[in-house]
Every structure is written in C-alpha cells, then in structure tokens.
Amino acid sequence: MKTITYDSLEVRTYPTREELGEAAASLAEEAIGSAIAARGEARVIFACAPSQNEFLAALVRRPIAWGKLVVFHMDEYVGLRANNPRSFRHFLRTNLLAHIDAPKAVHLIQAEDDSMREIARYSHLLSEKHIDLVCMGIGENGHLAFNDPPVADFNDPRLVKIVELDEACRHQQVNDGCFPNFEAVPTRALTLTIPALVSATQVCCCAPGERKANAVHDTLLGPITKECPASILRRHPHAMLHLDPASASHLTE
C-alpha cells in the first residue's frame, strides 16, 4: 500500500481492487462502530455504483451492529420505479441490504413522481441528525453523486436537488454496464448536494479502475473547483480516498 496526502485528503493505493475494498470496509466499520459507541446509532450514506462492489462485498462480511445503522443513499433517477433493476434502490438492496441484518432504518429516495415533495421529505430526514459517514465514489467527470460540473455547487443551500445529467455522466452509466446505450440513460435525477455529502464526520471514497484515472488526477492535482467536483474532498478534515494502480496511473510524485 502507498499513502500520500493531498492538502487534507489522505490517499491510499492498493495492489488490487479486492484489497482496496477490504481496507475501505475496515475504515467504514471503525467509523460506524465509533458513532454507535458515542450516540447509539450510525447514520451512513452509501453510493450505488459498480465502483463500490468490492467495498460493499467486504463490508457485509464485517461484524457490524447493523440494527443500529440508519441507511441513506445519494441519488436516484427520476421516473425509475424501485423494482427497476437499473434503479439505485435496487442496487442498494441487492448489494448491501439483502446481505445484512435489518438496519434500524432505511431511507430510500423515491423519485417516481412528485420530485419537489420528495426533495422536502428526504431533506428533512437527512437534517434530523448529523451524518456520521459517507461511502462514495468519484465519477468519470469528477462528479460526487450526480453533482456534475455544470450543476455542482460547493455552497449549495439545499441538501437535495433535481439535476440534469451531463453527457459524460450519462456515458459513464453505459460504460459501467448499467444501461445498454446512451439513449436509455435517464436525463434527470435527484441527488444529494455537495454540502450534504461533505458535512459528514468522515468520508470513505473508493475510486478504482482505469476509467477513473483522469478524474483522480484532476481531483488531486488540479485546482479545487466545481469543474472537478471531487476536488472538494481535499478540504475535508477526515476523508480518505482509496485507489488501485489503474485509477492512480495518472498521478505523479
């Protein structure tokens, strides 16, 4: 493992994606355990994407007090039903919830119909108590959740908003194998905003794979700007970015 710090962001590179997933799961387990010890529960936001597969596979094997976990996720396509296999709710159920004991609460974004009502509902749930941990990835365009460069706002006053997905983001969904072609990818989504994500006590970010190399480079070596939304992680006091050799391949000493 190789460790370098960029501003406040600790970056660790592991030999394989599996080792990356195990290390990130260990960090998440520790953060969850600390929150439960301090307040009796842990409020955690999860990303739903193939980049999280190794992390989630390792996490569900950990001896975590799942019954004290309050689960949120980051985003959902407008118009997709919960049982749609391409929805993020389906991903979360398949890759996390189906493998653990019942959490204390599971709050899923319902983006089928009245988006403004859902924005208000989910914002209220998020704001009830502090978020202890965010488990996230980085998009090919540097996005966090669906905060693509055209709509990212480091000072957004909202916790949840409706966004138009940019072309790079929609192409990534095809590259990830989530949709058969570009035209099939929805154009709008509900997303947690950047302030909602980075307000968490800790951030555990997993960004493996060659297609993330450019975004990782810009995140760590470029300016901190909404043109690469993930660059804001360099200002978080307790964030860690987990890479593999492919995603770290464009970094220099």
Distance CA 116, CA 201 (A): 28
Task: Kindly state the DSSP code that residue 100 receives in the 8-state scheme.
Answer: S
Collapse the DSSP code of 147 into the 3-class scheme (helix H, G, I; strand E, B; otherwise coil) and give the result.
strand
Of 240, 184, 249, 246, the C-alpha closest to 12 is 240
Six-digit token string for 89: 């709710």
Query: SS3 of 136, please?
Result: strand
CA R_g for the chain: 17
Beta-sheet strands, E only, within the chain: 2-6, 9-13, 42-46, 69-73, 75-77, 105-106, 133-136, 160-164, 188-192, 202-206, 239-243
Please say whether the beta carbons of 13 and 245 come within 8 A: yes
pLDDT tens digits in sequence order for the chain, 253 residues long: 999 999 999 999 999 999 999 999 999 999 999 999 999 999 999 999 999 999 999 999 999 999 999 999 999 999 998 889 999 999 999 999 999 999 999 999 999 888 999 999 999 999 999 999 999 999 999 999 999 999 999 999 999 999 999 888 898 888 888 888 888 888 999 999 999 999 999 999 999 999 999 999 999 999 999 999 999 999 999 999 999 999 999 997 5
Complete domains list, the chain, with CATH: 2-243 (3.40.50.1360)
Residue 145 CA to residue 230 CA, distance in Å, equals 10
pLDDT digit string, tens, across residues 46-104? 999 999 999 999 999 999 999 999 999 999 999 998 889 999 999 999 999 999 999 99
CA angle, 167 then 169 then 173, to 5°: 110
Q: What's the start-to-end Cα distance of the chain, in Å?
A: 15
pLDDT computed for residue 253 by the predictor = 53
The answer to whether the beta carbons of residues 70 and 103 sit under 8 Å apart is yes
